[in-house]
Chains A and B, each alone.
Chain A
Amino acid sequence: MSISLITFYLFSAILLLSSLMVISTKNPVHSVLFLILAFLNAAGIFVILHAEFLAMILIIVYVGAVAVLFLFVVMMLDFKTSLEKDNILQYMPIGLLIGLVFIAELVIVLINTRLDLSDIQILSNPLDNFSDQSNTEAIGSILYTNYVLYFQLSGVILLVAMVGSIVLTLRDREGVKRQIVSEQVDRKGKIELVDVKSGEGVDI
């Protein structure tokens, strides 16, 4: 038993337990919090594998951005009313079905691949010529040279998704006063200085 093995068991135990809690807790906010715990432990396992760049990106993207917005939405839900109505048995068949499909796929993959030691060597260190670089550099030099097209394509897909969601939610309501900062700062022609004689008043 080495330290890394102990930490691996620790991380994976917490990972499995917290993912179990995600689907078994009644409170949706607790579910999201356990999901975040699961993400963090997955990042820990990446660190043990010396994939520190992936670990950090996992935390920044999934925990720092996606899960925050997720939590944001879940917190706004009025779940107290829906708690009693929920029936675990109602969702059981479809959940079991999906689980079975996954297990079947795993079994098929495992039967058809015969892992020997050299395969594991290749799988754990697929890029021989990058062994002297840090994995940030290695990912960068592969992603932006050999796979730049796929990278750009995924960027375009994300852009389309972003534009689509903006188009779907954008609406112009009438009667809404908007603040236009440049107009507000530029006060030329908007202010008139008038000499008012006392006791008279002025027409505007």
Chain B
Amino acid sequence: MNVLQSNFFELITIIFYCILIFVPLLVGVVLALYADRKIWAAVQKRRGPNVVGPFGLFQVPADGLKFIFKEIILPDSADKTVFLIAPIITLALSIAAWAVIPVQAGVVLANINVGILYIFAISSLGVYGILMAGWASNSKYPFFGALRSAAQMVSYEVSIGFVIVTVLMCVGSLNLSEIVLAQKNIWFFIPLFPMFIVFFISALAETNRPPFDLPEAESELVAGYQTEYSGMPFVLFLFGEYINILLMCAMTTILFLGGWLPPIDVYPLNAIPGFVWFILKVTLVFYMFAMVKAFVPRYRYDQLMRLGWKVFLPLSLLAVVLTSSILFFFKLAPGMS
């Protein structure tokens, strides 16, 4: 018991920090859902949600409330434990990854040495929620959705890994804060522009966003792996998915858009606190995510696989070789000068 008493204060602070991450994240998800629908509507010259609350802002909380009070239907032939664990895993993993995201200089819950590897590991675990959901539903469409999703996420993780390697070679550290600080002179999306594009598209595929939303392609698979879910577990999936999307936006920001750094380091710009820049950049990336959803038609599955394995993988491998050669030849690599 002594241990618990001596570490009680530390425990309380960590829990407080966790709430400090979780609450803004939930607000962010609600706003992201709203923005997603509004942008989609605007592209199609519709109005989108505009009834509940001012500008329809309360539409998402209202939907959430509705889902909470809905009955949780457990399919008779489902593997019930796995069926209920799957959405919890999806949500928990997507939140866990945020523990290492630095929103400002020094403002991060866990400033670990291998931050980028941690995020990569957690996001590679994300596939389990979907696979378990699809298998435990014990029904055709969810199973197909889960298989598609697993294959898709595993394929695009490979190219994401190589893109991260190119960035890491320019930084010389796996720590996320140091990755941001290394972009003090130039944001990486300028020298590594092709990799920025590859990362952005792979992020779309990794989060099952349109045009790569084949796991939940409604014209073929009803709702993919979520077909049998209702009520609270469905909300957990939805929130997990959107937190993952925001995570990918944050990753793009940190790896390529200079994290919390202002565009130019001059007076009125660098007086604005870093987290404002961070949120602005995440919003910008999310806006691009939403626009892509609005105007790109869905890929066919074989084209998706071709893009991942035959286009992005060789391209990112080439980029790894090229970047390392250039860094070595011009003695630009960190610690070489």
A contact residues vs B (CB 8 Å cutoff):
1-3, 6, 27, 29-30, 33, 36, 52-53, 56-57, 59-60, 63-65, 68-69, 71-72, 75, 134, 136, 179, 181
B118-141 interface (Cβ within 8 A of A): 118, 120-121, 124-125, 127-128, 131-132, 135
Contact B128 A65 (CB under 8 A): no
* A32 CB to nearest B CB, Å: 10
User: For chain A, what secondary structure do more than half of its interface residues adopt (helix, strand, loop), or is it mixed?
Assistant: helix
* A24 CB to nearest B CB, Å: 16
One of A33, A65, A136 near B124 (C-beta < 8 A): A65
Q: What are 8 residue pairs bridging A and B, where the CB atoms are less than 8 Å apart in the complex?
A: A6-B3, A33-B132, A53-B114, A56-B121, A63-B125, A68-B128, A134-B113, A181-B306
- Write out the residue numbers on chain B whose beta carbons fall within 8 Å of the beta carbon of A68: 124, 127-128, 131, 150, 154
The docked-state distance in angstroms from the alpha carbon of A76 to that of B121 is 25
* B222 CB to nearest A CB, Å: 19
Contact A64 B125 (CB under 8 A): yes
* A43 CB to nearest B CB, Å: 8
Q: How many A-B residue pairs have CB under 8 A?
A: 70
Assuming the A-B contacts A3-B3, A6-B3, A60-B120, are A71 and B131 also in contact, with contact meaning beta carbons closer than 8 angstroms in the complex?
yes
- Write out the residue numbers on chain B whose beta carbons fall within 8 Å of the beta carbon of A63: 121, 124-125
One of A52, A69, A134, A179 near B154 (C-beta < 8 A): A69
Contact B117 A53 (CB under 8 A): yes
The docked-state distance in angstroms from the alpha carbon of A31 to that of B2 is 38
* A99 CB to nearest B CB, Å: 29
Assuming the A-B contacts A33-B82, A71-B131, A179-B302, are A64 and B112 also in contact, with contact meaning beta carbons closer than 8 angstroms in the complex?
no
Contact B127 A52 (CB under 8 A): no
One of A52, A65, A72, A75 near B113 (C-beta < 8 A): A52
How many positions in chain B have a CB within 8 Å of any CB in the partner chain?
Answer: 29
CB of B7 closer than 8 Å to a CB of A = yes
* B26 CB to nearest A CB, Å: 26
